[in-house]
Each structure stands twice: as structure tokens, then as C-alpha cells.
């Protein structure tokens, strides 16, 4: 597994990533995440690659690869993922709610100190 910066050579791969139907309402839209990263300070996007194929996407990597912390968001209703992230050492920071393209999202922002 390796990480590569999201840039003009691979942003369509990121936009086209899809999750299983049962997970759709648990994951923020990648287009929205890319826009947030473009306009919010200290946000940085990375594609997760396995065998040269993008299989996932990260954002909220502070100061590029010299990260001291990792920030993620997970759906409030996705109790399995929240439990998994807590077991991996992430702490819950705050709940956020927003509407994007007419869909209401409720998420928990989480952080892990590196």
C-alpha cells in the first residue's frame, strides 16, 4: 500500500471511487472533500494505492507528509467504523451536520496523534 498526492493526474480516479451500496450513506462525497481541501487551510489529500490502483482516499493530513495528527470524519450512524477507528487510536472531537447536494450528513470528526 502506498499514498500519492491527489493532483490533476489522478483526481478523476478519486472522484470515481465508489463504496458498496450499504456504505453509501456513511461516506462523504469525494467531490465535496476535494473542494474542502482546496479551500481550507492545512488540508491535504492523498490517494491510497494498492498495486498502482487507487482504492481509497484520505484528507485532513496536516503539513503534508510531516503530519503530527490525522483527522477523519465518519458517519454518526456507522457505529462499526467509529469503533474500529477508536480501536486504532482515534479520539472523537465533535459532531458536525451539513447538507450537500440536498443530502443531510451527520458526521463525527476524529483525530489521531502520530
- Provide the residue range defining the domain that includes 100: 2-113
Instruction: Report residue 9's pLDDT band, with 50, 70 and 90 as the boundaries.
Output: very high
CATH of the domain at 67: 3.40.630.30
Helix (H/G/I), strand (E/B), else coil: 100 = strand
* Of 62 and 31, the one with more pLDDT: 31
Helix (H/G/I), strand (E/B), else coil: 26 = helix
* Cα separation, 36 vs 101, whole angstroms: 15
Q: Is the dihedral of CA 41, 16, 106, 23 positive or negative?
A: negative
Instruction: Report residue 71's pLDDT band, with 50, 70 and 90 as the boundaries.
Output: confident
**Is this structure's pTM higher than 0.85?**
no
Total domains in the chain come to 1
Instruction: Report residue 12's pLDDT band, with 50, 70 and 90 as the boundaries.
Output: very high
Instruction: Report residue 67's pLDDT band, with 50, 70 and 90 as the boundaries.
Output: low
Amino acid at each position: 500500500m502506498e499514498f500519492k498526492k491527489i493532483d490533476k493526474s489522478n483526481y478523476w480516479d478519486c472522484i470515481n471511487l465508489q463504496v458498496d451500496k450499504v456504505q453509501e450513506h456513511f461516506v462523504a462525497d469525494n467531490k465535496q472533500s476535494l473542494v474542502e481541501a482546496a479551500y481550507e487551510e492545512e488540508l491535504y489529500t492523498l490517494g491510497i494505492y494498492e498495486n498502482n490502483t487507487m482504492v481509497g482516499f484520505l484528507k485532513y493530513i496536516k503539513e503534508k507528509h510531516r503530519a503530527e495528527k490525522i483527522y477523519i470524519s465518519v458517519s454518526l450512524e456507522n457505529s462499526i467504523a467509529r469503533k474500529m477507528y477508536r480501536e486504532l487510536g482515534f479520539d472523537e472531537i465533535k459532531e458536525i451536520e451539513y447538507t450537500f447536494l440536498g443530502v443531510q450528513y451527520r458526521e463525527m470528526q476524529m483525530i489521531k496523534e502520530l
